Amino acid sequence: MNILVTGGAGFIGSHIVDAYLAEGHRVVVLDNLSTGKREQVHPDAVFYDRDLIDPAVEDIFKQEKFDAVNHHAAQISVTQSVADPAFDAEINILGSIKLLKLATSYRVRKFIFASTGGALYGKQNSYPADEEHPKHPMSPYGIAKLTVERYLDYFQDNYKLQSAVLRYSNVYGPRQDPHGEAGVVAIFCRQLLQDQPPVIFGDGEQTRDFVSVFDVVAANLKALVENFQGTYNVGTGEETSVNTVASFLIEASGKSLAPKNDPPRMGEQLRSCIDYGKFKRDHGWQPAQSLKQGLKDTFDFFANRHPMEANRE
């Protein structure tokens, strides 16, 4: 297949590019490098440095004739979305609509969209939340993801664009940056490598569902199959406290540093966890990476990078 991966220079997208190439697909990356890194793009991928809203993106569709689009380009900071909702909407909503229009105009068969679990369900009524759980996004970022999901329904119903929505929990792993939903892992790694204590906001008992980027990649491989469509949670179904994450990373670092507690952040969601049972039943996907080993691998990745590069994370 000829596949476009938007955001393919970023944390999750670059791993997906690697996996698609390993499966023998041709991959084109579209990324403006605002948060992605050029060096993370596999040398066998075709690379375009473009914004989603750049009119020249249509020329790429016209020239490349894609079979599938995997859409990971986004404004990924929840905090930034709160500070500037209009900018978040321009990238995450309007940019996605433009991509959907191009996909239908140039007869793309499959559209895979990276959505969110925790930010979409918001304050949950039950744990873990399945795909039918009420949606109560508490940030413009979550609102934008839900909006694009609705547009995907529209384009599928009216233009027969086969779409797959993957709602991620908190993704962590090598190449992670500190700005996404699971950015705390990258932040703790950076602090420990600088011999600073991990800074925890509040009491640290707030929980998240931390899923390895390699399990997310496996989900994106399954989503590429011809008849795969629908909405699926991609998580572990387990709640893990921020205190536990800090403890595992301190152990991985081998350093004698105790976490430091700062005042809690206003409006922070206290619990988040999503149910992957539907994905397992329908397509056999389930998480394989243990959190403790995954966090150690992530710390080792940052530790083995050039010190100045690690300090810029």
State the catalytic residues. 141
Q: How far is CA 90 from the centre of its chain?
A: 18
Q: Distances from the Cα of 84 to the Cαs of 92, 108, 144, 182, 183, in angstroms? A: 12, 32, 13, 20, 19
